[in-house]
Structure 1
Amino acid sequence: MTTVILAEKPSQARSYVEAFQRSTKKQGYYIINDSLLPPDTVITFGFGHLVELAAPEAYDAKYKHWSLSNLPIFPAHYQFIVPTDKKAQFKIVKEWLSKADTIVVATDSDREGENIAWSIMNQAKINLKQKTIKRLWINSLEKDAIRSGFKALKDGWAFYPKYQEAQTRQISDWLIGMNGSPLYTLLLRQNGVRGVYSIGRVQTPTLYMVYQRDQAIKNFKPEPYFELNAEILANQQKFVAKLDPYQRFKDEAELMTFMQAKHVQKGSQDGLIKDVQKQAKKSASPRLFSLSALQTMINRRYHASAADVLKAVQALYEAKYLSYPRTDSQYITDQEFTYLRQNLARYQKLVSKEIALPQIEPQSRYVNGKKVQEHHAIIMTKTVPSQEQLAKLSKLEQQVYDLVLRTTLAMFADPYEYEETTIITQVGDANFKATGKVPTKQGWQALFDDHKADQQEAATLPIVHQGDQVQANLQTPQKETTPPVPFTEGTLITAMKTAGKTLDDEAAQAILKDVQGIGTSATRANVLEILKKRGYLVTEKNKLHVSEAGITLCKAVELEPLLTSPEMTAKWEQALQQISTEERTPDNFLNQIKKFVAKLIADVPTQLTGSAAIKQQIDHQQQAQKAAEVFLETPQATVLNKQKFYIVKPKQGEDFTLPKKWSSKALGKTAIKALVTKGETSKLKGFKSKKGKSFDAKLKLDGHKLSFDFD
């Protein structure tokens, strides 16, 4: 009776192997001996996705070259392939799966892990009904967690609907991409735009959110307004109070009318302390981290990309320091709370500042088993690294671990307590309010003293009493309304999670139970990377903007609201999740996607043909492309920058090319300018012979022929 444990990748397999008593390493698998497992147990592994959806040309050679007449592409049955570089490992996995009596699916404990495992098993063409299928479902790669998981294996078939959901998501994305991308690319090419334009079920509405924000900033027209503030002098101390209730005035005339009605004027005048209220308040520590919340916070603090944060958290998970990363939950169960409490002293040693952690009973803000579905929040594991081990981590990994550590410890600290003072000052018949905050107990905030930027400090107010006479200096500053703030990767991740609703973190968390986001915790970072890699999104000082090519694509797709709507994409995600709960079938969802694709193919050609906005943007992009190509302008010639060479366009004579590299040396502007204007360069360093020896030489241009000049 052979048992085969299928891991997702080699590093995961090694973690399993390390949890067992004895193992023998072979090519592509391990033989395991452990009292916990049956005899004849083998661990084998994939390299992530060993099996992928086939490209359209696998169905018919005609699809190799894009043509509008070939759309739509709706295969009757979807074909899957094993990439060439993974065939050797797939063969090993297939042989062991064929021999197995029991298969333990031990890929990542999420939908994509199910997709990877079941796709491999299906591609191996084994009779799964004749096998016993078990599922390892764990939140940590620590030895204890692995052994506990293998003692409590679940029925593998119970997770089959999760595979169906993940594969349906994969196929639906394929259908939209393989039809939408050629459709828009070919139609835009007919309008004179070069390039390939990629369409995606999740990436397109995500790009469009950034485009809309960019447009709102670009088209924003600041509007002037006036405020009425009072600088109050009381007990030799000054503080600023704002009109209560606060209001703005669109022009000076409106302001003056208000001031006359309230019997006040600009400048110094008498005032009266009308009311003083002091209230003791408490602030609970931040919620525990989901992946998107962690990506948002790390991006805000350290400007790391969402993909880099995910990579760092994944590395910390594989190092056994943090729990499973791809989670949408911000809660833990009593079980996790118990082990965290038991290890508090060890965790505290990693924090330079000693802080009291008296809250040793679970609080529903953080601990709620009913709100933990597949995975709990990202927290530390029982494996506590030493300072030496932490020092060996990358800088970002250290920053991620430190933030998770402090945020988790904050759950055990007292609330941050402060006294809030509100002073109402009456001037004439107008009231002015000032609010101040005085900390009375640091509580959990002591853990974050090094990040004052996260804490909003209010002004410190003087001690005054009701009825005190004061001097008020009324000021009427003129200000302007401000444009929206550009997206960062952190705020965009939050916007994706809240389906485009731009809310602050606390408010966003409150509505998430009712809102399905764009994409999943596992895919959002990858979507942003794809948009950046394809040149649609660019990052400038941690701010995201849409490129010219991205603008062209957005102007094209905005005529088809279903492609750009975050709400529609969120509804699709909700429908996909209904597959894993067996409320909806894969065919039902894919038929909806096919109808949508058919509608695109029918409507988009007419939309693009009749759009003045598209024509205007195409002209703009073509001009931008031409301007971007100009590498150098001299009185003798214009030099264009192509991908692999320069084109020299002399004012007289024929065009010719110059290389970007010559004998392993890159030729930059100085060298090219010298060649075009003088026909030769000064002596240049850094050339290399065929044997790899470095040398210096001049370059000269004889006609259109480039050569060395060693004189």
Structure 2
Amino acid sequence: MGKSVFIAEKPSVAQEFAKALHVSLSRRDGYLEGGDVIVTWCVGHLVTMSYPEAYDPNLKRWSLDTIPFIPQEYKYEVLPAVKKQFDIVSSLLNREDVETIYVCTDSGREGEYIYRLVRQEAKVTGKKEKRVWIDSQTEEEIQKGIKNAKDISEYNNLSDAAYLRAKEDYLMGINFSRVLTLKYGRNVANYLHEDRASIAVGRVMTCVLGMVVKREREIRAFVKTPFYRVIGSANLEGHKFDAEWKVSEKSKYFNTPYLYNDKGFKDKEKATELLNFLSDPLPQTAVVESIERKKETKNPPLLYNLAEIQNECSKLFKISPDQTLNIIQELYEKKLVTYPRTDARVLSTAISKEINKNIAGLRNFAPVKEFASEILEKESFKGIEKTRYCNDKAITDHYAIIPTGQGFNNLGSLSQTALKTYEVICRRFLSIFYPAAIYQRVAMNLNVKDENLYASFKTLADEGYLKVAKNSFSKASKSSKSEEDEADEDINDTAFFELLKKIRKGANIDFTEFNIKEGETSPPKRYSSGSMILAMENAGQLIEDEELRAQIKGSGIGTSATRAEILKKLETKKYISIAKKTQIITPSLFGEIIYDVVANSIKALLNPELTASWEKGLTMVANGDITADEYMEKMNAFVVRRTNGVKMLNNQGMLYGLFNESAKNYKK
């Protein structure tokens, strides 16, 4: 019987596979071996795409005459820094006594690509190749993954998508960066008083830069508009509350040009006029025209995918998406959580059936042990597969990031931020086994001299999942309210709420005074590193509402595995700045100049919908909906058309005016 090679993406993962196999293995140079088993590893990418000069030495010199560069057949080469490990892996895969290769690289598009490149350059033939697909690095999951390993041919579509993604980035990077640098690099360098300037663009990177610059320019162009609201103060059996004026059809201000919106005036003069009218005389008796009492439920949010946890950690700990990814990767490698690079926010049916094991393990984690015990005692995990928290159709490669219920011996080696992040993931996970939080809400309209005053109150009737959701390290703070419920007053005074329940239509309530509250419109917010990740996930829209985000279907800009790296790359190239303390993103002057160059040459690169459509195309290839050839044909045509388009432009002089406009906003 032939030997089996298990090839992992990096040494630490290979070590976990070696442990799970329960075979006595001896350490060799670059691999482990014992009995019929060999375990080896890559060190990330061992193979890369060759630069144009590998096709023709003359292509090393950048020239408009040699682009667009579209290879008929792509060339690849082993990375010099890891050639030794590649040679070891190559010889192992091709050993005569090796019968089966178990591919244990990361379970996703990039992991598939890493192995396929090694296999291609090592010229592996005549071996059985099986793909191991796991959701966590626990021993049980690794053993299950090996047992259920499928023939590698079942992942050919995923492999095609991986190759296409690399070719796409290569073609756009080589052709667009070269044509823009050749065409505009001297102009940019002269403007910035530099010796030279390279204009680096990319399918995702340039689109994200565009989002940052557009937002910054919206903020600059924004003009604050003041508005004035009239607030009445009432007294109900010793309990004071405020009610806000809101225009109604009976109002003398209905359909007049004086209103900023239905709750405020453009000018203080008109607000004062209303205030004087309502205050004559004081106290002023109002009649309750309508009163509405209802229960409102707030369901536990969906589970974390990578984008959601990156946004959460940006808000909680002011750390970058890249730092968050490193933390989740560490938690994964220490067997504490499931696979990090996932877009799904739900469980699979398969994991739902044995989810009690994950919950049971959490009895060993002090901050949540009482909740885990309560869920097991009440068996509230039963039937989770019939809820919105389980949906096989919403899962591509992996289900949501959840705790494994294992790996607790590694807790002591975690940093404080990693430990807190783990707690956040555990609480979000356990929340879904608790009922919704229930609020009681009372809203009433009051009539004073045919003008309408509106008051709304709510109180928490049943905390439901909220008792699990609050982190042990959180400081008590008022939650930020959305615009639509900012008028709601949170009432903790039980006696007052009971009083509100008794009020009936037609009742009289006395107002003791009226005041004017001045406000002003707010400019758009700058992106933070976390909110940018969410905007990338939603194809350029910053959708802060969790429920709405869950309903958005389709591919975003980049993938869960690449988004953090894109932001890091933009910062490294000095196109953007990310404030360390706040994680707020702003463009640099250089970034704005690059934006103007692209906007006036290859504007399509700034279009989030177009960038997302390329990503969606790759997903369609991975799903077998379109062929790799169909995708490549469109990609080649796009690159050729846009590159040739730039070569024909003659707009360098016009750009200086745009550069000057941007430069006004930067201190010299």
With structure 1 as the length reference, what TM-score do the two structures score? 0.81
| Match 2:511 to one of 471, 478, 483 | 471
The correspondence of residues 391-402 of structure 1 with structure 2, limited to 5 A, is: 391-402=412-423
Distance 1:201 1:97, change over 3 A: same
Query: Residue 584 of structure 1 aligns to a residue in which SS?
Result: coil
Distance 1:417 1:349 in 2: 30
| Match 1:89 to one of 85, 88, 93 | 85
State the Cα distance separating 1:623 from its structure 2 match. Answer: 9.1
| Match 1:571 to one of 613, 627, 631 | 613
Distance 2:181 2:156 in 1: 37
**Does structure 2 conserve the Cα–Cα contact (< 8 Å) formed by 1:6 and 1:44?**
yes
Q: In the alignment, does 2:305 pair up with 1:304?
A: no
Partner deviation per Cα, 1:257-292 (whole Å, 9 max, x = no partner): 8789x9777986332333333323322212111111
Distance 1:285 1:511 in 2: 15
The residue number in structure 2 matching 1:416 is 437
The residue number in structure 1 matching 2:266 is 250
| Match 2:151 to one of 155, 165, 187 | 155
2:206 maps to amino acid: T
Partner deviation per Cα, 1:220-252 (whole Å, 9 max, x = no partner): 111222223322232223222223464332234
Query: Residue 19 of structure 1 aligns to a residue in which SS?
Result: helix
State the Cα distance separating 1:83 from its structure 2 match. Answer: 1.1
**Does structure 1 conserve the Cα–Cα contact (< 8 Å) formed by 2:218 and 2:524?**
yes
Distance 2:176 2:283 in 1: 67
> Which structure has greater helix proportion?
2
The residue number in structure 2 matching 1:58 is 54
1:459 maps to amino acid: D
Distance 2:456 2:363 in 1: 35
Partner deviation per Cα, 1:656-683 (whole Å, 9 max, x = no partner): xxxxxxxxxxxxxxxxxxxxxxxxxxxx
Q: In the alignment, does 2:518 pair up with 1:522?
A: no
The residue number in structure 1 matching 2:490 is 459
Distance 2:122 2:478 in 1: 52
The residue number in structure 2 matching 1:706 is none
**Does structure 2 conserve the Cα–Cα contact (< 8 Å) formed by 1:291 and 1:521?**
yes
1:115 maps to amino acid: Y
The correspondence of residues 178-577 of structure 1 with structure 2, limited to 5 A, is: 178-191=174-187, 192-193=190-191, 194-244=196-246, 246-252=262-268, 255=271, 269-352=284-367, 354-355=370-371, 356-357=374-375, 358=378, 359-361=380-382, 362=384, 363-385=386-408, 389-450=410-471, 451=474, 452-453=476-477, 455-456=479-480, 458-460=489-491, 462=496, 463-464=499-500, 465-466=503-504, 467-471=507-511, 473-513=513-553, 515-540=554-579, 541-559=582-600, 560-577=602-619
Distance 1:241 1:471 in 2: 9
Distance 1:391 1:216 in 2: 47
Query: Residue 30 of structure 1 aligns to a residue in which SS?
Result: strand
Tell me which of the two structures has the higher relative contact order, counting C-alpha pairs closer than 8 angstroms and 6 or more residues apart. 2
State the Cα distance separating 1:598 from its structure 2 match. Answer: 2.3
Partner deviation per Cα, 1:110-144 (whole Å, 9 max, x = no partner): 111111111110011233xx222211111011111
The residue number in structure 2 matching 1:591 is 633
**Does structure 2 conserve the Cα–Cα contact (< 8 Å) formed by 1:493 and 1:524?**
yes
Give the stretch that moved more between structures: 555-564 or 137-146.
555-564
User: Highest Rg: 1 or 2?
Assistant: 1
2:150 maps to amino acid: K
Distance 1:367 1:454, change over 3 A: farther
**Does structure 1 conserve the Cα–Cα contact (< 8 Å) formed by 2:278 and 2:284?**
no
Give the stretch that moved more between structures: 579-588 or 396-405.
579-588
Distance 1:267 1:287 in 2: 51
The residue number in structure 1 matching 2:485 is none
Distance 1:391 1:508 in 2: 38
Partner deviation per Cα, 1:518-577 (whole Å, 9 max, x = no partner): 111111111111111111110123210111110001111123331100000111111111
Give the stretch that moved more between structures: 44-53 or 601-610.
601-610
State the Cα distance separating 1:492 from its structure 2 match. Answer: 0.5
2:301 maps to amino acid: P
Q: In the alignment, does 2:131 pair up with 1:135?
A: yes
Partner deviation per Cα, 1:444-486 (whole Å, 9 max, x = no partner): 2122334455845742273342303221533333322110011
Distance 2:401 2:74 in 1: 36
Distance 1:87 1:592 in 2: 35
Distance 1:257 1:599 in 2: 63
State the Cα distance separating 1:349 from its structure 2 match. Answer: 4.5
**Does structure 2 conserve the Cα–Cα contact (< 8 Å) formed by 1:273 and 1:470?**
no
2:441 maps to amino acid: E
| Match 1:47 to one of 29, 43, 46 | 43
2:610 maps to amino acid: M
Distance 1:248 1:621 in 2: 36
1:477 maps to amino acid: K
**Does structure 2 conserve the Cα–Cα contact (< 8 Å) formed by 1:267 and 1:475?**
no
Distance 1:95 1:218, change over 3 A: same
**Does structure 2 conserve the Cα–Cα contact (< 8 Å) formed by 1:549 and 1:621?**
no
Q: In the alignment, does 2:624 pair up with 1:582?
A: yes
Partner deviation per Cα, 1:70-122 (whole Å, 9 max, x = no partner): 22121221111111111111111111111232221111111111111111100
Aligned length: 614
Query: Residue 591 of structure 1 aligns to a residue in which SS?
Result: helix
The residue number in structure 2 matching 1:645 is none
Distance 1:225 1:179 in 2: 51
The residue number in structure 2 matching 1:658 is none
Query: Residue 240 of structure 2 aligns to a residue in which SS?
Result: strand
Distance 1:610 1:243 in 2: 56
Distance 2:47 2:541 in 1: 36
Distance 1:62 1:396, change over 3 A: farther
The percent of aligned pairs where both chains have the same amino acid is 28
Distance 2:664 2:562 in 1: 35
Partner deviation per Cα, 1:324-350 (whole Å, 9 max, x = no partner): 111111111244334432453541442
**Does structure 2 conserve the Cα–Cα contact (< 8 Å) formed by 1:165 and 1:577?**
yes
The residue number in structure 2 matching 1:113 is 111
| Match 1:616 to one of 657, 660, 664 | 657
2:571 maps to amino acid: K
State the Cα distance separating 1:418 from its structure 2 match. Answer: 2.3
State the Cα distance separating 1:57 from its structure 2 match. Answer: 1.9
**Does structure 1 conserve the Cα–Cα contact (< 8 Å) formed by 2:361 and 2:406?**
no
> What stretches of structure 1 of length at least 5 have no aligned partner?
34-39, 629-711
Partner deviation per Cα, 1:595-616 (whole Å, 9 max, x = no partner): 222232233356561673x212
State the Cα distance separating 1:151 from its structure 2 match. Answer: 1.3
RMSD: 2.6
Query: Residue 414 of structure 2 aligns to a residue in which SS?
Result: coil
2:138 maps to amino acid: E
Distance 2:656 2:415 in 1: 48
> What stretches of structure 2 of length at least 5 have no aligned partner?
248-261, 482-488
State the Cα distance separating 1:384 from its structure 2 match. Answer: 4.6
**Does structure 1 conserve the Cα–Cα contact (< 8 Å) formed by 2:31 and 2:38?**
yes
Query: Residue 465 of structure 2 aligns to a residue in which SS?
Result: helix
Give the stretch that moved more between structures: 591-600 or 453-462.
453-462
Distance 1:266 1:327 in 2: 64
Distance 1:391 1:254 in 2: 64
Distance 2:101 2:282 in 1: 83
**Does structure 2 conserve the Cα–Cα contact (< 8 Å) formed by 1:48 and 1:116?**
yes
Q: In the alignment, does 2:165 pair up with 1:123?
A: no
State the Cα distance separating 1:301 from its structure 2 match. Answer: 1.1
